[in-house]
């Protein structure tokens, strides 16, 4: 068995399933055949490629995690569950000393980070695991820090479209709001236009039929006060494979940090990108 062991939580969900499929092909990683799942899940197992994975409901996880730790030793948890479970899951990971990568969006993010900081573990927490999008966010962070107020007076509109099953507003879009605010734009995350209707996505947005069940299209549009100047930033992702590579890199980054003895640290995907060059 390879030394870096992970458990992907959120199966049989679509994103978790894709991440698990990539993990099984990653030469650095051993995927444990267990997954924490939601109380509404009726099946007790699922199959990824040829690997049968036990699905563990919240009421069973305390007991089962003891047996898993006894059998496999230490491992890293990868969370792609549901926004409503983010903070409870983080508290569980911290209480049971289970370092984790949080790919799930939503929840109380400040509380999430503070839970890790107050614990004896480390985590990588990011609203988006796609490395190229994280790099774009880093560029916007640089602009916000280096050129504060540069878009003062401009009007911002943000549109984001995701599959109908995504319960919350995009965490990436919310993060982008903070950068634009620092660049002088008055805008609230509540003003983000969120689209979840497949018919509108296909007919008005032009999203391919094959990706209506899994996509992330974002447009950020800035207009000058006199409406003579427009800046537009866009990133459109079809499918979910882009998130898998970043997640695996985040797992390996966290493993290296744990081996140096780090505790009580909440890292970001920007930290991961900086170390990986």
Catalytic residues: 162, 166
Phi, psi for residue 116 in degrees, rounded to 5: -70, -45
Measured on CA atoms in the order 209, 212, 214, 216, is the torsion positive or negative? positive
Dist. CA 48–CA 55, nearest whole Å: 12
Question: What CA–CA distance (Å, rounded) separates 96 from 100?
Answer: 11
How far is the C-alpha of 5 from the C-alpha of 22, rounded, in Å? 14
Within the chain, where are the H helices? 14-25, 61-72, 86-95, 109-117, 131-146, 171-182, 198-200, 241-259, 269-276
Are the CB atoms for 48 and 274 separated by under 8 Å?
no
Find out whether 218 and 236 touch, Cβ atoms under 8 Å: yes
CB 21 within 8 A of CB 13: no
Encode 141-179: b = buried (16+ Cβ within 10 Å), e = exposed.
Answer: bebbeeeeeebeebebebbbbbbeebebbbbbbbbbbeb
């Amino acid at each position: 068995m390879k030394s870096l062991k992970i458990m992907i939580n959120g199966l049989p969900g679509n994103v978790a399933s894709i991440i698990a499929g990539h993990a099984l092909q990653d030469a650095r990683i051993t995927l444990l055949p267990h997954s924490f799942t939601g109380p509404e899940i009726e099946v007790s197992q699922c199959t990824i490629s040829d690997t049968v994975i036990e699905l563990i409901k919240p009421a069973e996880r305390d007991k089962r995690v003891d047996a898993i730790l006894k059998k496999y030793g230490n491992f890293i948890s990868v969370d792609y569950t549901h926004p409503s479970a983010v903070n409870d899951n983080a508290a569980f990971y911290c209480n049971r000393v289970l370092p984790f990568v949080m790919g799930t969006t939503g929840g109380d993010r400040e509380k999430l980070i503070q839970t890790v900081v107050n614990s004896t573990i480390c985590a990588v927490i990011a609203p988006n695991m796609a490395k190229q999008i994280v790099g774009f966010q880093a560029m916007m962070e640089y602009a916000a820090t280096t050129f504060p107020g540069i878009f003062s007076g401009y009007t911002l509109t943000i549109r984001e479209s995701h599959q109908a099953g995504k319960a919350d507003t995009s965490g990436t879009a919310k993060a982008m709001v903070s950068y634009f605010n620092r660049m002088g734009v008055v805008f609230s995350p509540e003003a983000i236009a969120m689209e979840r209707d497949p018919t509108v996505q296909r007919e008005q947005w032009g999203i391919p039929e094959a990706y209506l069940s899994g996509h992330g299209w974002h447009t950020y549009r800035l207009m000058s006060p006199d409406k003579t100047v427009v800046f537009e930033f866009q990133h459109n992702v079809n499918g979910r494979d882009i998130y898998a590579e970043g997640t695996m890199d985040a797992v390996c980054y966290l493993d290296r940090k744990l081996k140096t003895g780090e505790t009580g640290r909440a890292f970001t995907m920007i930290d991961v990108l900086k170390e990986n060059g």
